[in-house]
Amino acid sequence: MEASQKPPTRKKFLLLTAAAFCSASILRMFTVRKKNEKDTVKMLTQDGKLVEVDRKLLGPPGKRISKQELQQWVKNTAKKNKN
């Protein structure tokens, strides 16, 4: 008897493609991804030391002060340091 060679059917092709996508997504779920990038910000402390702080620990950004408010704060700080 002769074995007839049937070309791959469309249904078989779709099943194999779906199985490949499923296995790829399952492998992606089980592989552990390492974060190489640090999620930190460099900041100065009051005594002038440079430290790195996690972004998670920082609060939401506040309002910006105006130039006048900054200048007034600097003047007040200078007066306090003289006394």
3-state secondary structure of 43: strand
**Residue 41 in contact with residue 52, Cβ under 8 Å?**
yes
Least confident of 2-6, 67-71, 73-77: 2-6
pLDDT in tens, 30-47: 776 665 567 888 998 888
- Strand-pairing partners, residue 51, are 43
pLDDT band at 2 (very low <50, low <70, confident <90, very high): low
The model's pTM is: 0.33
Top pLDDT among 70 and 34 is at 70
Rounded average pLDDT over 48-64: 87
pLDDT in tens, 6-27: 777 888 899 999 999 898 888 8
